[in-house]
Amino acid sequence: MGTIAISALYGGIGDSVQGTELLRRIPNTLNGDFEGLVGSCDFMDTLSDESGVSVDVESVSVDGAISRLLFELRTFVRLLRIRRPEAVFLRFRILGFGPMLYAKLKDVPVVLHLDGFPELEYSGTRINDAAMRISKPFDRMVINGADSVVLPSGVARQGLERCYGIDDPDLPRVIPNGADLERFRPMDGEECRRALGLPDGRIVLFFGAIEKWQGIDELIAAFCIMRELHPDLSLVIVGGGTMAEDLKLSEGVQYRGIVPSEDIPRYINAADVTVAPIPVDRLAFPMKVLESLACGVPALVTRNESTRELEEVAPALLLDDNGIMTIACALERVLYGSDGRGIGAMGRRYVTSRYSWDRSARMFSRELDHIAAEGRVRRRSGHHPVATRSGKGVRTSVKH
């Protein structure tokens, strides 16, 4: 395989993690010779040394519609300078019309990776502003123009319907997120606590974006109830976000802010349990749940269509909702009852067997190989793709 053109617009910490883990592995799993990456994001300049391929990248700030537009235009111009790639891998769809326009002009197939839907995640926050509403027609054009749409779960397909009215069950290809099993592994908890300066006693950990939809207020309120019963209990919060300055800290709560990514496995191993109390209507299976389980640490998460499979590990991990009493009772059972026994080892085995980034990268590589092969056949035969509607969905067919 020749050059793969990467257009990756990254926002939060989770986006960077997903992109880094996938893109550092894909070159080694593609069939044939892999010549290079072309793209714009904040970490790809490290990939050349790791993968041995040439990388043409740009670090950009993409706050607001204007900077996103300029980002896409610059990416379009830079794509014009290279030999026609085998495929374009779009990591984000917001104002992704630059790479999509290039792909259509050059008749290059596009693989679009959608990991989430900010319209739902940030609803009611300052992030869900006019820029996102303005971009929606372009988003729909990018989604409809892709030869392959990849989602992290079958349930995430509901996001396509809720945000864009696309409910074609054949449209998305499901490739799950994963955990880096080398970084996120069981470590000595006491050593991790000493290295991080954390208190003795039992520790509840929240790490990730400090946003309303993460259920952080409910977690703090539930912790306060537990603290009255167990004075040695501590809650440690790691991360940043729009709600960080408004956190209502109480006795026993430590806010560590944004920490180096290499410290996250230590924080997890220092904890007795991690909590992801997302709302019930969220479609996500948070990566931090997988990372916690990979470390052998129990991870409480709200039950939804994606996370309910954790019943195979331990039903006690699933919260029926993200209410204060629900969280408090679950913490009591896992930390001080019998429900927490053996969860750590079972969780590690579960993630190892199903959710490694190496496995996800191999699946992405097969999809890129498949789409690139279709593109070569299409160009040689003179057939061109056209969009045909099936109900509300959009499928790609071949025009003869």
Q: Tell me the C-alpha distance between 285 and 318, whole Å.
A: 12
C-beta neighbour count of 142 within 10 angstroms: 25
The pair of structure tokens assigned to 54 is: 């040439």
Tell me the CATH number of domain 189-354, given options 2.40.30.10, 3.20.20.70, 3.40.50.2000, 3.40.640.10: 3.40.50.2000
pLDDT digits (tens, 9 = 90+) for 266-295: 999 999 999 999 988 776 788 899 999 999
Residue 229 neighbours by CB under 8 Å, 6+ apart: 332
Is 4-178+356-399's fold the same as 189-354's? Answer: yes
Please give the pLDDT value at position 254. 95
First and final C-alpha spacing in the chain: 26
| Mean pLDDT for the stretch of residues 15-43 | 58
The full set of domain ranges for the chain reads 4-178+356-399, 189-354
CA distances from 49 to 10, 34, 44, 46, 55 (A): 21, 15, 10, 6, 9
pLDDT at 52 over 60: no
Q: Who wins on pLDDT, 270 or 20?
A: 270
Three-state secondary structure call for residue 399: strand
- DSSP lists the bridge partners of residue 237 as 206, 255
C-beta neighbour count of 31 within 10 angstroms: 12
pLDDT digits (tens, 9 = 90+) for 69-108: 676 677 677 667 666 777 777 776 555 677 788 888 888 8
Residue 287 neighbours by CB under 8 Å, 6+ apart: 14, 17, 18, 177, 178, 179
Task: Determine the topology of domain 4-178+356-399 in CATH.
Answer: Rossmann fold (3.40.50)
Q: Using 50, 70 and 90 to split pLDDT, how confident is the model at 306?
A: confident
Q: Tell me the C-alpha distance between 280 and 275, whole Å.
A: 14
Q: Using 50, 70 and 90 to split pLDDT, how confident is the model at 385?
A: low
